């Protein structure tokens, strides 16, 4: 099977073009290809195929084989793939995801996509739609106990669930201990992605993320959107924020007129290869 290895801010996936390849069991294949010792290595598998609702359809599978509704870094890479590999010559494209159809604007330099702006749609704040078990809805700066510690969290869905917590220093934060405790916390019926955010100013933050189904990743596009929405809901930043992730930077803007969140960032193709099925 031919594949393309791509990443968005270091959040790396194995991409398979379903116009050319056939996949029998995507969850099982995701577990195999994601393995960084016995496989290709990555945070999971993303497939690119036809859609009857948009120009293309993307599906994303985490490293544990679970399918997610949406992937922000992934959809930027899908856009780069379809333009650079001549599946389209348009610089505004629509991609169907598990979180609905998203519209993307491509920046092309020397004939290749360098940056992508994604209209990520509206953030979802109702507790039962995250889903999260909570007394109040929306869940903004609400208590949760994990690892015998009391925390305050803000929950946002971008089609997939996110719990956002504020910490003083992301570099020294013990993500390996607390990430899994939130991912599998009983208050998240579908598990959750968890973002730990340090606010530097009203325009700049840093974030590390423990992803549902993939452990720590070096960036999370939907998580970056959820983090900025949480910052704004808590009165900590303006509507447009530069967010520093382990693998790079994203610019996130929550347009309050349209209530849509816009994410702008890079997309990179690393190599192509063949994988034995
Ligand atoms: N682990 C996520 C899917 C990948 C999201 C992330 N990589 C992004 O860039 O948005 C979930 O299970 O909801």
Q: Predicted confidence band at 153 (pLDDT cuts at 50, 70, 90)? A: very high
Whether the CB of 123 sits within 6 Å of ligand 1: no
Domains of the chain: 2-120+265-274 (3.10.310.10), 127-258 (3.10.310.10)
pLDDT one-digit tens code per residue, 256-271: 999 999 999 999 999 9
Find the 68 Cα to ligand 1 centroid distance in Å.
7
pLDDT one-digit tens code per residue, 66-94: 999 999 999 999 999 999 999 999 999 99
First to last CA, the chain: 7
Residue 149: the pLDDT is 97
The active-site residue out of 9, 117, 220, 225 is 220
CA distance 4 to 14: 6
Whether the CB of 231 sits within 6 Å of ligand 1: no
pLDDT one-digit tens code per residue, 155-184: 999 999 999 999 999 999 999 999 999 999
Please give the average per-residue pLDDT across 20-30, as a whole number. Answer: 98
CA distance 277 to 265: 33
CA distance 38 to 97: 29
Distances in Å between the alpha carbon of 93 and those of 150, 192, 200, 268? 44, 29, 34, 18
Burial letters for 200-212: b for 16+ Cβ neighbours within 10 Å, e otherwise? eeeeebbbbbbbb
pLDDT one-digit tens code per residue, 198-207: 999 999 999 9
Q: Is 220 a catalytic residue?
A: yes
pTM: 0.98
Q: Is 9 a catalytic residue?
A: no
Please give the average per-residue pLDDT across 226-235, as a whole number. Answer: 99
Q: Percent helix, strand and coil across the chain, each rounded to 5?
A: 15, 45, 40
pLDDT one-digit tens code per residue, 110-137: 999 999 999 999 999 999 999 999 999 9
Residue 95: the pLDDT is 99
pLDDT one-digit tens code per residue, 46-68: 999 999 999 999 999 999 999 99
Distances in Å between the alpha carbon of 246 and those of 8, 72, 273? 11, 15, 26
Whether the CB of 192 sits within 6 Å of ligand 1: no
Whether the CB of 220 sits within 6 Å of ligand 1: yes
Inter-residue contact 122 to 113 (CB < 8 Å):
no
Find the 259 Cα to ligand 1 centroid distance in Å.
21
Whether the CB of 237 sits within 6 Å of ligand 1: no
Residue whose tokens read 């793939």: 81
Residue 217: the pLDDT is 98
List binding-site positions. 11, 62, 72-73, 160, 193, 211-212, 221-222
Distances in Å between the alpha carbon of 268 and those of 2, 83, 84, 243, 245? 18, 13, 11, 18, 16
Find the 223 Cα to ligand 1 centroid distance in Å.
7
Inter-residue contact 170 to 196 (CB < 8 Å):
yes
Burial letters for 169-196: b for 16+ Cβ neighbours within 10 Å, e otherwise? ebeebebeebbebbbebebbeebbbbbb
Whether the CB of 11 sits within 6 Å of ligand 1: yes
Q: Which atom of ligand 1 is nearest to the CA of 222?
A: 10
Burial letters for 38-63: b for 16+ Cβ neighbours within 10 Å, e otherwise? ebbebbbbbbbeeeeebbbbbbbbbb
Residue 4: the pLDDT is 99
Residue whose tokens read 């702008």: 264
pLDDT one-digit tens code per residue, 241-250: 999 999 999 9
List binding-site positions for substrate. 11, 62, 72-73, 160, 193, 211-212, 221-222
The active-site residue out of 71, 77, 117, 155 is 71
Residue 174: the pLDDT is 97
Distances in Å between the alpha carbon of 185 and those of 99, 133, 176? 23, 10, 15
């Amino acid at each position: 099977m031919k594949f393309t290895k791509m990443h968005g801010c270091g959040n790396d996936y194995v991409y398979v073009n379903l116009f050319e390849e056939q996949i029998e069991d995507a969850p099982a294949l995701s577990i195999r290809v994601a393995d960084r010792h016995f496989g290709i290595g990555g945070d999971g598998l993303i497939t690119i195929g036809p859609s009857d609702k948009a120009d293309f359809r993307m599906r994303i599978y985490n490293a544990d084989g679970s399918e997610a509704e949406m992937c922000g870094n992934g959809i930027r890479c899908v856009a780069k793939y379809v333009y650079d590999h001549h599946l389209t010559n348009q610089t505004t494209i629509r991609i169907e995801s598990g979180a609905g159809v998203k519209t993307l604007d491509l920046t092309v330099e020397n004939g290749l996509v360098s940056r992508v702006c994604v209209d990520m749609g509206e953030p979802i704040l109702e507790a039962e739609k995250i889903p999260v078990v909570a007394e109040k809805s929306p869940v903004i700066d609400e208590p949760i106990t994990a690892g015998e510690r009391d925390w305050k969290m803000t929950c946002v869905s971008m089609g997939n669930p996110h719990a956002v917590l504020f910490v003083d220093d992301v570099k020294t934060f013990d993500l390996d201990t607390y990430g899994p405790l939130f991912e599998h916390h009983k208050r998240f019926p579908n598990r959750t992605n968890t973002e730990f955010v340090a606010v530097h100013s009203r325009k700049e933050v840093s974030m590390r993320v423990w992803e549902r189904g993939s452990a720590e990743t070096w960036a999370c596009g939907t998580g970056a959107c959820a983090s900025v929405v949480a910052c704004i809901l808590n009165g900590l930043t303006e509507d447009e924020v530069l967010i520093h992730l382990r693998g790079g930077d994203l610019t996130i803007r929550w347009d309050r007129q349209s209530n849509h969140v816009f994410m702008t960032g890079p997309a990179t193709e690393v190599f192509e290869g063949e994988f034995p099925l």
